[in-house]
Amino acid sequence: MWLDGVNVYAFGQANWFRRLMRLSGTVPPISWLYARSLHHLDRVVYKLTRGRATFVSLVTGLPIVMLTTTGAKTGRHHTLPLVALPDGDRLVIIASNYGQQRNPAWYYNLRADPNVTIAFDGATRQMAARELEGEERERQYSRGIEIYPGWTQYRTRAAHRRIPVIELTPAS
């Protein structure tokens, strides 16, 4: 989000503690731990704050969306917190999976059924997912690095795969 020409989520706009927390995810053992634990903490804080914040949003200042997908194999609904890049009425999410070997499960759910529900900024909306390609993908990935430099490290660690970048637009 831009305010008076400044990206309010930009890494340089965060205080020293939030910058430190954002950078901590670039350290492989710590990102491994985060991948297995932060979503649990986020859910608890999300419930305690009645949907106003997650653990990650509090300690990093990053914009977090609660994404609900339909399981590709099970058909069950799965809700998880993800860093989102607001872009007008659209959101962009990056399937980095902390630079791990595989894409996250939610990515495969989106490929099977691109219709999702998101909770963001106090509102719940129906959205449609579309994977970005080419220059548009690169531009949005670069935007992501402006707020979370960890995505640079994740791209290096996951060099064997192309990290998907997904655009969420309001469902018609």
pLDDT of residue 5: 46
Each residue's pLDDT, cut to its tens digit, for the chain (172 residues) gives 544 444 678 888 889 999 899 989 888 899 889 989 998 999 999 999 988 889 999 999 999 999 999 999 999 999 999 999 998 899 999 999 988 899 999 999 999 999 999 998 888 999 999 999 999 999 999 999 998 988 998 999 999 999 999 999 999 7
- Residues 106 and 115: their CA atoms lie apart, in Å, by 12
Give the HSE-up count for residue 164: Cα atoms under 13 Å, Cβ half-sphere.
Answer: 17
3 state DSSP class of 105: helix
List Cα–Cα distances, 112 to 9, 119, 134, in angstroms: 31, 21, 22
**Closest Cα to residue 79, out of 90, 70, 88?**
70
Beta strand extents in the chain (DSSP E only): 2-3, 6-7, 64-70, 77-87, 90-94, 115-120, 123-131, 165-170
pLDDT of residue 7: 67
List Cα–Cα distances, 131 to 8, 57, 92, 104, in angstroms: 25, 25, 10, 14
pLDDT of residue 55: 93
